Each structure stands twice: as structure tokens, then as C-alpha cells.
Amino acid sequence: MTSLSRRTLVLGSAAVALSACGSSKSNGGANKSNGSTTGPASKVTAAGGSTAKPGDLVAIRFFKSGVAAANVPYRYTFGLGTADGTLETKGPDSVSFRVLDKAGAAEVVPATTVARHAKDLARPYWPLTTTLPAGTYQVELTVGTRKLEPAFIDVATPDAISVLSPGANLPALLTPTVKDAAGVKPICTRQPACPLHDVSLADALKANKPIAFLIATPAYCQTAICGPVLDVLLKHRTDAITFIHAEVYTDDSLQISTEAVRTFGLDYEPALFLAKADGTIVDRLDVIFDSDDVVAGIAKLV
């Protein structure tokens, strides 16, 4: 089994290093967090080539470019920060988005106002949900009267995306459970361990119930968001849906990614897959989500 490489996600004038599935111990082990009690990350890294100056407001991409499938609705989540590396923990009530072509010459999506999301979550974000053809685009963010440096995103054809997307079927995977760890230790790095390890994904698919399947590593998220979003998910447990959590690494050495990571084609985390009773994925929430997003996602299942 081979691990996937660590990735740095770049947006406009800022980059945020999200915990990439399959990191090495030397890069990830020293950054172990305290799971669900972890607060929002306070720093991001300025990317080369930016014209932004320290203190300037910049857009931060909370998703991996290139994992959105062409012609399928996708939730592009953005945060705000400064060019010197400070992440915004409050932010405005709304942000205006406009999507342009790669050259910035033609408008693809007209100006859209998006409300701030942070219900039951310490870190705010602004999610733009839209459908785009394959290609590269500029996303123009306006905060109040300030127009920020454009953010570049890539949209891929479905066959070029490794991660399972809406429309695909959940695989009958024997994910680790309390009774059968399947070689993963620990099966949950949250402290205390979460209660979403009673049934494997394979067994859940036999129960003819909708499924919420989260791949996340509370202890090792480089931006400390896996624990908080897991806690958000726990707030909305219902008997009508089977909730399952799977870790990213097979053990605390962080050398090998789990079967769930490889099977679902992930090289970022967290990711929440929401599927109907027949196993068809109807939504995928990447990296960050609050209670409003979870409630809306669950509504699609029941």
C-alpha cells in the first residue's frame, strides 16, 4: 500500500495547507491536535507571485481545485484572511462572488451574494454553489466595496477526478469498527472517540437506510477542521440515517493511508459523503461544513 502525497492548496494570493491523506510522520506527526477540541487554524501561507501586501485582505480556498466535476453542482467554499497569514475568524455577513473565464474577460456566473456560514463552527466560510463546464476560471470576491485578488479554480471532466462524486455508488467497504478494527489503530483519533464506529460501510449498505459517511482525522488535520466538523455532524445524528466515521491513517505513524482513503480516491480531508438508501451518493461536502450545510444535506436523504 502506498500513501498519497501532501498537497498545498493555492487560491489567488494565499495558500492553505490542508491535511493531505497519507502524509509522512516527519511532516504530520509533530502536529497532532487534541481532536474535537481543536479551534480554527490561525495561519495560512502566502503564495508566490501575489501582489497583495501584508495586511491586505485575501481569499482563502477551503477546497481542492480540480475535484469539482464538470456540469455537476459543487460547493466552492472560501474563507478570508490577510496576506501575512492570519485567518479571519469572524468576517462579514455576506460576500459577493462573480465567476469569470480563465482570462478574466467574460462573465460566466453573474454577481451572487453568499451569506456567512459558521453555525456550530468556530471558523467562518462563504460557500458558492454553482455548476461549471470543465476548464479554469477566475473567481472574483467582493467584500463590502473591496474587490479581492481573483481566485483561480479548475473544474475537471468526471473521468479525470479520482474522488467519488455525486451519482457514484458507495463501495461495500469493511471500514473499521469497535468489534473489527481491520488493522487500523486507533479507529478514531477524536478525544473521546466518536460513536460512529459500530457498523462498517459494507454492513450499512445492507440495511436499506441512507448513509452519512465521513472520512476525517481529528488528531492530524493540518488546519484543525476535522474534529470540529465531526462534532457538527454528531449534533445531527438521527435513527433515519446511518452515520459512519473512518480515519485517514492506519496508525499514529502517519505512514499509510486507510483503505477508505484509497477507495474513495481522496488526497485531502475531511470529506462527507451523503448517500440514499440504495447507496447512490447525492452530495459530497468537502473540507468544511457547518450545521446549516449538514441539515440541508440530510434533507436530501430523508
Q: Mean of the per-residue pLDDT values for the chain?
A: 84
Q: What is the pLDDT of residue 41?
A: 36
- Grid cell listed for 187: 479507529
Residue 231 C-beta-side C-alpha neighbours within 13 Å: 19
Half-sphere exposure of 245 (CA within 13 A, CB side): 27
Q: Inform me whether the pLDDT recorded for 286 exceeds 60.
A: yes
Q: pLDDT band at residue 145, thresholds of 50, 70 and 90?
A: very high
Extract the C-alpha cell encoding 129. 454553489
**The C-alpha cell that represents 264 in the structure block:** 474513495
Residue with cell 488535520: 221
At a CB cut-off of 8 Å and minimum separation 6, what does 188 contact?
Answer: 194, 196, 197, 218, 245, 247
pLDDT at residue number 43: 40
Across 14-18, 55-59, 175-179, the highest mean pLDDT is recorded for: 175-179
Is the CATH code 2.60.40.1530 the one for domain 9-160?
Answer: no
How open is the CA angle 68-69-73, to the nearest 5 degrees? Answer: 80
- Report CA torsion sign: 201, 197, 294, 108: negative
Per-residue model confidence (pLDDT) at position 54: 63
User: Cα separations (Å) of 103 from 43, 60, 138, 166?
Assistant: 30, 20, 8, 29
At 21 the three-state DSSP class reads: coil
Average pLDDT over residues 257-278: 95
**Tally of CB atoms within 10 A around 278:** 10
Average pLDDT for 280-287: 96
| Model pLDDT for residues 205-252, shown as the tens digit of each residue | 999 999 999 999 999 987 789 999 999 999 999 999 999 999 999 999
pLDDT of residue 2: 26
pLDDT given at position 15? 39
pLDDT band of residue 129 (cuts 50, 70, 90) is: very high
Over pLDDT 70: what percentage of the chain? 82
Report residue 208 as a C-alpha cell. 436499506
Give CA–CA dist 167/95, Å, rounded: 30
For residues 279 and 270, give the distance between their C-alpha atoms in angstroms, rounded to a whole number.
Answer: 20
Do 11 and 59 touch, CB atoms closer than 8 A?
yes
pTM of the prediction? 0.86
Q: What is the pLDDT of residue 31?
A: 37
Poorest-confidence range of 84-98, 170-184, 265-279?
Answer: 84-98
Highest mean pLDDT among 133-142, 159-168, 216-225: 133-142
Q: Over range 179-187, report the average pLDDT.
A: 95
Flag whether pLDDT at 10 surpasses 70: no
CA angle 86/88/90 to nearest 5° reads 155
Predicted local confidence at residue 217, as pLDDT: 96
Q: Which pLDDT band holds residue 18 (cuts at 50, 70, 90)?
A: very low
- Residue 92 and residue 146 in contact, taking contact as beta carbons nearer than 8 Å: no
Sign of the dihedral defined by the CA atoms of residues 180, 185, 191, 196, in that order: negative
pLDDT at site 82: 86
pLDDT for 223: 74
CB atoms inside a 10 Å sphere around CB 235: 11
Cell of 282: 447525492
| CB-facing half-sphere around the CA of 45: CA atoms within 13 A | 12
Express each pLDDT in 25-79 by its tens digit.
333 333 344 343 333 333 444 333 456 666 789 999 999 989 999 999 999 999 9
Superfamily of domain 201-299: Glutaredoxin (3.40.30.10)
Give domain limits for the chain. Answer: 9-160, 201-299
Among left, alpha and beta (phi > 0; psi -120 to 50; other), residue 93 is alpha
